[in-house]
């Protein structure tokens, strides 16, 4: 076997243990790490400071998908307590039901916060997850870097960049499942240990199986990208150390076999629901060419969520290309890019840094989507995502979300660079005089201050986030919900991204079913759609959608005797036993008129909501 130098890859040659990490029995040595974690959580609290005292009445995620996530995070404990299937529900898209294995369910997060959902409400659980996702993800990256014996200060900066990157800032507006990223760093840690041949093979396999399963049950999308980059990293290592491929495979055979068994046992049913379960969707739900990708200038132009625009305010809208700032996570900033290049050059002989640089470049290229876009103008220059985006399990990934891996690897490059600056290239403090080491530590400390200052100046977010009050469901109306899980029609009607009716369900313990829902369902061709299934007769559905300004079913129609007759026919056919109208919504006056004509006076009103329930002649259970 060829002799390897001291600076070989972290995936092949174990690093020497830093003497400062020895003598772990001294609890005082843990205080700096504890302080770092406390700072992470303090920063996380700043983001949602305006809503901390109203965690049960305000929504921390003001992006539209957040109330949808409230429904999902509450459904899992509700299903388990009531003996229902957590991967299937007829509470939405009644009476057909919906395959939750293909939607943003995150059952692991539902189980994790089950006490909060059951004791308080799913809103409290979702708010809590959004609040802790960034700091706990930063903590995970920090812990893994320390396990790789990276200098404390470098690890803390790496964790900060990982947990509070522009990608995380954007997704924290309403996607807890995409910001709760504690498992990917530990998956990387276990894979490194497996291919190094370090540790107990059986336990490494068990941990890998559990971590992969947990990540799937948080976000299959994130797991797919983690698997992709793990494969790319292993290909790079095998290419460089081709003479040691047999050794790598020998180290991996047992742990990977154990992991596959565990993953198969834990994920067989969820994956079956995704691929072949009832009402499953065939094909991708997003077209390959969609607007959610980075522009080439995205990496240097601050997004709408950065506090400092650096004079590029006029470019933001053109570079972003879409109105949703949630996906504007590609920003790195010229100063941070220059720092990354500096540390990459300084540590160019380090295999770990070389690998991190390659993966960062790959992530940046994939985030650009299938065709190159520059300054808002899309060219016909094809990019690798044109092929990657057609692969199974990767065909539903929005290219812009590769910004997560981009910032993760940039953070690693900077952390490794600072660590190398402090330790030099001997890879051991034992080979360095105390005076020279003090000089290196001082230089590394000054460089760390520069890194932190540039991060603050260039990536400081617009915090605290707004935490608007969420419309509650009055207790007086809760008491009149008919028994037997009644089918309910609501206004706003669940067309496309309407989420309020799902929220009413969640905070009422899913006591009624609704027609529609903001979920992917199967259309007549087996493809995925977020539009509700067509009603027959179509008059009531067309009327409700048009009142909301959604014209996909046709233009607005007036309240006529014919529409009243059609409405009564629809109510009878679908066994609708409850109607809820939010009078604060545009178009509600005409909706109130229709249901008054069709059902008679409402049963009750409270706040902005009016309810018809158990009207004379209504369908019985």
pLDDT digits (tens, 9 = 90+) for 104-118: 779 999 999 999 999
Q: Is the pLDDT of residue 516 over 90?
A: no
Starting at the edge strand found earlier in the chain, the sheet holding 609-613 runs 513-514, 487-491, 576-582, 609-613, 604-606
| Dihedral sign for Cα atoms in the order 71, 76, 77, 79 | positive
Residues 6+ apart with CB under 8 A from 451: 157, 339, 414, 418
Residues 6+ apart with CB under 8 A from 502: 67, 68, 70, 71, 92, 494, 514, 517, 518
What Rg value do the Cα atoms of the chain yield, rounded?
Answer: 27
Q: Which residue bears the tokens 């964790």?
A: 159
What is this structure's pTM? 0.91
The closest alpha carbon to 11, from 297, 242, 355, belongs to 355
Q: How far apart are CA 69 and CA 175, in angstroms?
A: 7
Q: Is the pLDDT of residue 429 over 50?
A: no
Q: How far apart are CA 129 and CA 81, in angstroms?
A: 21
pLDDT of residue 321: 64
122-147 and 403-423 helices cross at what angle (nearest 10)? Answer: 40
Where are the chain's structural domains? Answer: 475-613
pLDDT digits (tens, 9 = 90+) for 257-294: 999 999 999 999 999 998 888 888 877 777 888 889 99
Q: Is the pLDDT of residue 567 over 90?
A: yes
The closest alpha carbon to 223, from 269, 271, 291, 258, belongs to 271
pLDDT digits (tens, 9 = 90+) for 370-394: 999 998 889 999 999 999 988 888 8
Q: How many helices (H) and strands (E) does the chain have?
A: 23, 11
* Stronger pLDDT, 457 or 362, i.e. the higher one: 362
Q: How many residues does the chain have?
A: 621
Q: How far apart are CA 234 and CA 213, in angstroms?
A: 20
77: its two tokens: 């404990």
């Amino acid at each position: 076997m060829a002799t390897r130098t001291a600076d070989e890859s972290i995936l092949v040659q174990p690093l020497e243990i830093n003497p400062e990490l020895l003598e772990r029995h001294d609890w005082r040595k843990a205080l700096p790490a504890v302080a770092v974690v406390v700072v992470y959580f303090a920063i996380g609290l700043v983001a949602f400071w305006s809503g901390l005292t109203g965690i049960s009445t305000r929504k921390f995620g003001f992006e539209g998908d957040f109330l949808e996530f409230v429904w999902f995070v509450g459904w899992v404990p509700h299903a388990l307590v009531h003996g229902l299937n957590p991967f299937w529900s007829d509470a939405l898209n009644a009476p057909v039901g919906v395959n939750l294995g293909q939607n943003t369910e995150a059952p692991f997060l539902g189980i994790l916060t089950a006490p909060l959902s059951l004791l308080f409400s799913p809103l409290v659980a979702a708010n809590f997850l959004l609040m802790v996702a960034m700091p706990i993800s930063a903590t995970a990256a920090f812990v893994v870097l320390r396990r790789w014996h990276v200098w404390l200060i470098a690890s803390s900066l790496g964790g900060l960049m990982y947990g509070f990157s522009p990608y995380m800032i954007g997704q924290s507006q309403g996607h807890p499942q995409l910001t709760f990223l504690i498992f990917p760093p530990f998956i990387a840690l276990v894979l490194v240990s497996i291919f190094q041949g370090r540790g107990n093979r059986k336990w490494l396999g068990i941990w890998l199986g559990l971590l992969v399963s947990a990540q799937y049950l948080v976000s299959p999308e994130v797991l797919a990208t983690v698997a992709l980059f793990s494969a790319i990293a292993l290909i790079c290592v095998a290419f460089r150390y081709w003479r040691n491929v047999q050794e790598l495979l020998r180290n991996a055979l047992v742990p990977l076999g154990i992991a596959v068994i565990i993953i198969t046992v834990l994920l067989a049913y969820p994956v079956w629901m995704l691929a072949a379960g009832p009402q499953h969707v065939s094909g991708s739900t997003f077209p390959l060419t969609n607007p959610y990708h980075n522009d080439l200038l995205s990496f240097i132009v601050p997004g709408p969520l950065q506090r400092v625009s650096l004079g590029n305010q006029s470019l933001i809208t053109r570079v972003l290309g879409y109105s949703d700032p949630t996906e504007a996570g590609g920003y790195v900033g010229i100063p941070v890019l220059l720092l990354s290049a500096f540390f990459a050059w300084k540590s160019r002989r380090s295999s770990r840094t070389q690998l991190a640089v390659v993966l960062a470049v790959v992530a940046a290229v994939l985030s650009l989507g299938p065709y190159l876009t520059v300054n808002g103008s899309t060219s016909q220059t094809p990019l690798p995502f044109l092929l990657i985006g057609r692969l199974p399990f990767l065909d539903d990934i929005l290219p812009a979300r590769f910004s997560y891996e981009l910032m993760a690897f940039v953070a690693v490059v900077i952390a490794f660079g600072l660590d190398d600056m402090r330790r030099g290239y001997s890879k051991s403090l034992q080979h360095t005089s105390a005076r020279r080491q003090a000089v290196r530590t001082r230089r590394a400390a000054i460089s760390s201050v520069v890194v932190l200052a540039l991060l603050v100046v260039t990536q400081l977010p617009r915090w605290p986030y707004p935490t608007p009050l969420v419309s509650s469901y009055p207790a007086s109306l809760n008491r009149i919900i008919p028994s037997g899980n009644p089918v309910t029609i609501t206004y706003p009607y669940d067309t496309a991204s309407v989420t309020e009716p799902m929220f009413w369900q969640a905070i009422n313990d899913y006591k009624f079913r609704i027609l529609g829902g903001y979920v992917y369902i199967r259309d007549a061709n087996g493809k995925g759609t977020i539009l509700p299934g067509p009603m027959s007769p179509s008059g009531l559905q067309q009327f409700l959608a048009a009142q909301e300004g959604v014209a996909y079913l046709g233009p607005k129609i007036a309240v006529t005797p014919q529409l009243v007759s059609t409405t009564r026919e629809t109510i009878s056919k679908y066994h609708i036993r409850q109607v809820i109208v939010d009078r604060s919504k545009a178009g509600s006056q005409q909706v109130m008129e229709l249901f008054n004509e069709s059902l008679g006076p409402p049963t009750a009103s409270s706040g902005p909501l009016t309810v018809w329930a158990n009207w004379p002649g209504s369908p019985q259970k």
